[in-house]
């Protein structure tokens, strides 16, 4: 994942990268859903050992991509040995790394706690759970596929605001709960918000991090994303037991709103700093001419 993301960051410019990152995020969702269905079919037809043959497909694709990239590199000159990366050079990536961890933490919190809420409401069924999974996956792909076009139309900050509002709305739908359509609406909103915000964070990381530190920053970005999802059940289950199941999703909505507010304020501050820097540089360039 880290190598693939870095390749995309190096091959495409800022304008092109937004759409490509959206497609890559959506593609990951498609292959994840396909893998679940294919695994179930193989399990029924052949047995559990044969499920692992799917990994050979990924290995072959990785080999083909590696060969294609090697050919496209052509006779590019070899670069000098990379200098050690200073910790300070990772500072611009910090908001995006933290945002990825918190986004996956919150997404996992809703996914792991939703079945308990649905059972308590008395509307649990295998069909409803399948629809929740399908709706969240589908709208994650919709959010990712539309990222490049929407970001180009309204800009990163407005898109971040919309994505955050949709995430909070998903938690609110779950908090209201009580019926299958409301739970499906919550799953759809959470998927749509995640699909919009995740490529936004990745795009921002590539745009703001110095190229020398990008490999370290994106590796950290990917690692903490999985760490956020992994830590969620361990940290949020005590919260659920403390506040009670009926209050869990209202509390999660408040936490999501606070996290989104902190991220948006950080993004606004960074945008203001860049704008001031551009205004300071422009007169200096004019005087030099």
Tally of domains in the chain: 1
pLDDT of residue 157: 87
Report yes or no on 288 lying in a domain: no
Residue at token pair 């300070």: 88
Given a contact cutoff of 8 angstroms between Cβ atoms, the answer to whether 92 and 208 are in contact is yes
Report yes or no on 83 lying in a domain: no
Report yes or no on 285 lying in a domain: no
Residue 124 CB-density burial (10 A; 0-12 exposed, 13-18 middle, 19+ buried): middle
pLDDT of residue 79: 47
pLDDT of residue 71: 59
> Whole-angstrom Cα distance, residue 32 to residue 58?
12
What does the pLDDT look like over 277-289, one tens digit per residue? 666 655 544 555 5
Domain that includes residue 144, residue range = 2-72+90-278
Residue at token pair 């203001």: 272
Which segments of the chain have a pLDDT < 70? Answer: 1-37, 40, 48, 65-66, 68-85, 277-289
Residues counted in the chain: 289
pLDDT of residue 276: 73
> Whole-angstrom Cα distance, residue 191 to residue 167?
8
pLDDT of residue 77: 46
**Other C-beta atoms within 10 Å of 89: how many?**
17
What does the pLDDT look like over 43-97, one tens digit per residue? 777 776 777 777 787 777 777 766 766 655 554 444 444 556 677 778 888 888 8
Report yes or no on 84 lying in a domain: no
**How far, CA to CA in Å, does 271 sit from each of 14, 36, 91, 160, 166?**
16, 41, 15, 13, 22
Which residues, at least 6 apart from 250, have a Cβ–Cβ distance to it below 8 Å?
171, 175
Q: In 3-state terms, what secondary structure has residue 256?
A: helix
pLDDT of residue 80: 44
> Whole-angstrom Cα distance, residue 199 to residue 160?
11
pLDDT of residue 23: 64
Report yes or no on 65 lying in a domain: yes
Phi, psi of 76 (to 5 degrees): -60, 135
pLDDT of residue 165: 94
Longest dimension (CA), the chain: 75
pLDDT of residue 162: 93
Report yes or no on 253 lying in a domain: yes
CATH for 242:
1.20.1250.20
Which residues, at least 6 apart from 38, have a Cβ–Cβ distance to it below 8 Å?
54
Report yes or no on 233 lying in a domain: yes
> Whole-angstrom Cα distance, residue 138 to residue 30?
9
Rounded to a whole number of angstroms, the distance between the first and last alpha carbons of the chain is: 45
Q: Please report the sign of the dihedral spanned by the C-alpha atoms of residue 137, residue 139, residue 145, residue 148.
A: negative
pLDDT of residue 36: 64
Report yes or no on 284 lying in a domain: no
> Whole-angstrom Cα distance, residue 122 to residue 270?
47
């Amino acid at each position: 994942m880290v190598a693939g993301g870095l390749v995309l960051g190096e091959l495409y410019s800022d304008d092109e990268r937004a759409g490509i990152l959206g497609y890559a995020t959506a593609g990951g969702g498609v292959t994840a859903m396909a893998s679940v269905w294919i695994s179930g079919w193989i399990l029924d037809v052949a047995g559990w050992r044969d499920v692992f043959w799917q990994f050979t497909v990924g290995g072959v694709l990785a080999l083909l991509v590696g060969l294609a990239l090697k050919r496209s590199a052509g006779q590019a000159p070899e670069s000098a040995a990379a200098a050690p990366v200073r910790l300070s050079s990772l500072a611009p990536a910090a908001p995006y790394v933290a945002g990825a961890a918190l986004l996956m933490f919150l997404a996992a919190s809703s996914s792991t706690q939703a079945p308990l809420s649905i059972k308590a409401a008395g509307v649990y069924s295998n069909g409803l759970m399948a629809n929740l999974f399908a709706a969240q996956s589908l709208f994650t792909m919709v959010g990712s596929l539309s990222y490049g076009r929407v970001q180009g139309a309204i800009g990163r900050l407005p898109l971040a605001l919309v994505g955050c509002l949709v995430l909070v709305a998903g938690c609110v739908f779950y908090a209201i709960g009580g019926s299958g359509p409301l739970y499906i609406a919550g799953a759809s909103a959470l998927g749509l918000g995640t699909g919009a915000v995740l490529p936004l964070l990745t795009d921002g990381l590539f745009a703001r991090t110095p190229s020398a530190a990008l490999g370290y920053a994106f590796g950290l970005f990917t690692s903490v994303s999985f760490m956020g999802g992994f830590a969620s059940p361990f940290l949020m289950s005590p919260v659920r037991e403390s506040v009670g199941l009926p209050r869990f999703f209202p509390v999660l909505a408040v936490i999501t709103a606070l996290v989104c507010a902190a991220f948006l304020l950080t993004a606004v501050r960074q945008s203001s700093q860049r704008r001031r820097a551009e205004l300071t540089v422009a007169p200096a360039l004019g005087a030099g001419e």
